[in-house]
Amino acid sequence: MICNLKHFGLGAAAAASLWAGSALAQEETIKVGVLHSLSGTMAISETTLKDAVLMMIDEQNKKGGVLGKKLEPVVVDPASDWPLFAEKARELVASDNVSVVFGCWTSVSRKSVLPVFEELNSILFYPVQYEGQESQRNVFYTGAAPNQQAIPAVDYLMNEEGVERWVLAGTDYVYPRTTNQILEAYLKMKGVAPEDIMINYTPFGHSDWQTIVSDIKAFGSAGKKTAVVSTINGDANVPFYKELANQGVSAEDIPVVAFSVGEEELAGLDTAPLVGHLAAWNYFMSVDTPENDEFIEKWHAFIKNDDRVTNDPMEATYIGFNMWVKAVEAAGTTETDAVLDNMIGVAVPNLTGGISSMGANHHITKPVLIGEIQDDGQIETVWETPGLVLGDEWSDYLPESKDLISDWRAPMSCGNFNVATGKCGGTAAN
């Protein structure tokens, strides 16, 4: 019996030693969460961003990691299911103990996870263009706000193309509706008459565009230059552009400027119906800079496929990742509050040849590019802002937000400070 107890004691000690070794091994890595859909309707867009994060982790580990520790990716699949995003975010932060999360695409998925990051005091980097009207302490928005995409696109069409009539066409969810609400107010402020604005929404995956395109064609036949500002998302774009071509509506007649059609969406499509139409982003794969050439070369080597394209949300992910690394190194820790304090003002190279910095409103500076779609699926820049533009979290063109600003620096530390009342709003979006 004594012998058995002795052996039991040795076994327990060995087990404890193994557990301690395992815990130590875990502590010697910094875990990075990846929250992108790898299945479902959004997988075609989000899988690329997962791969981009893995590439950047691999590159950073080759440089020695961060704070002397290797980065360890933790990848989950929220499967294009908006409530599941919140569940998976909680799993990453509370169970997997990640230090940061890179993820989400649609605004509804982002809004689903906001309470989780606030409650658990963790950090999310969100890399996709969105409707604004939000600034949250635990989120860094590296995609475009409306003043970094939608407003400049309208200005370009108005000033360079002489557009006087406007079709605001979108998919029926929060991003297109809020963006078009801002654009409608902006156009009216610019003197556009209500009868010169047509607004239309369609469900995800909409395929029967014959009637809508006929309406657009009729709207554009009033003797005034007409354009379509498109917040149509996903695979509905394919039949939309085809129907424009079927009805003889060319880019010269009624140009379409899209906010959700990039290189990834164009890859593998018959681009003939889209040639000459426009896209507004902050990055195109065709940008000719040493930084972009190096990024594309590394991407093709990592993904082992020279045909894979890059796109704007990949660049936004790249910027956010490098900002996080720099802030962690400045803080000397991955502890959330210390990293948050060191994020504001951090600046890193973007891929268009400039330096992007993080504003006190948790949005970044970036150039705005308007490009023309080519027959090879690339987008050629035809116009760009002369300098970098800081993302505006609260629209100046809506009465409910025109007096709001965001500044996460002490002592204000507020995401929706009302300059008229001198008070922080204290809403869920602050």
The predicted structure's pLDDT at residue 18: 42
Confidence tier at 265 by pLDDT (50, 70, 90): confident
Residues 422, 361: Cα–Cα separation, whole Å? 17
Given strand 404-407, what is the order of strands in its sheet?
404-407, 414-418, 423-424
Confidence tier at 14 by pLDDT (50, 70, 90): very low
Amino acid at 242: K
CATH 3.40.50.2300 in the chain: give the residue spans.
31-145+288-367, 150-258
The predicted structure's pLDDT at residue 269: 77
Report whether 32 contacts 71 (CB < 8 A): yes
How confident is the model over 241-261, as a mean pLDDT? Answer: 94
The predicted structure's pLDDT at residue 193: 98
The predicted structure's pLDDT at residue 171: 93
How confident is the model over 49-59, as a mean pLDDT? Answer: 98
Report whether 192 contacts 251 (CB < 8 A): no
pLDDT of 22 > 50? The answer is no
Can you name the CATH fold of 31-145+288-367? Answer: Rossmann fold (3.40.50)
Question: b/e string for 371-382 if b means 16 or more Cβ within 10 A?
Answer: bbbeeebbbebe
How confident is the model over 221-246, as a mean pLDDT? Answer: 92
Percent of the chain topping pLDDT 70: 93
**Torsional sign, CA 249, 250, 253, 258:** positive
Q: List, in sequence order, every residue forming a beta bridge with 226; answer none if it has no partner.
A: 165
Q: How far is CA 347 from the centre of its chain?
A: 18
Amino acid at 240: F
| Average pLDDT in the chain | 92
Could you give the dihedral angle defined by the CA atoms of residues 105, 110, 113 and 115, in that order, rounded to the nearest 10 degrees? 170
The predicted structure's pLDDT at residue 21: 44
Q: Which two tokens stand for residue 385?
A: 């802002």
pLDDT of 274 > 60? The answer is yes
The predicted structure's pLDDT at residue 27: 66
The predicted structure's pLDDT at residue 2: 37
| Alpha helices, DSSP H, located in 253-365 | 263-266, 290-303, 312-331, 336-343
Tokens 């919140």 sit on residue? 86
Report whether 102 contacts 117 (CB < 8 A): no
Task: Give the homologous superfamily in CATH for domain 150-258.
Answer: Response regulator (3.40.50.2300)
pLDDT of 26 > 90? The answer is no
Confidence tier at 104 by pLDDT (50, 70, 90): very high
Q: List, in sequence order, every residue forming a beta bridge with 201; answer none if it has no partner.
A: 170
Q: How far is CA 242 from the centre of its chain?
A: 27
Report whether 171 contacts 236 (CB < 8 A): yes
How does pLDDT run across 107-157, given as a tens digit for each residue? 999 999 999 999 999 999 999 999 999 999 999 999 999 999 999 999 999
Q: Taking the model in full, what pTM does it have? A: 0.90
Alpha carbon separation from 179 to 252, 340, 401 (Å, rounded)? 25, 28, 13
How does pLDDT run across 314-349, given as a tens digit for each residue? 999 999 999 999 999 999 999 999 999 999 999 999
Residues 335, 328: Cα–Cα separation, whole Å? 8
User: Which letter does DSSP use for residue 195 in this model?
Assistant: G
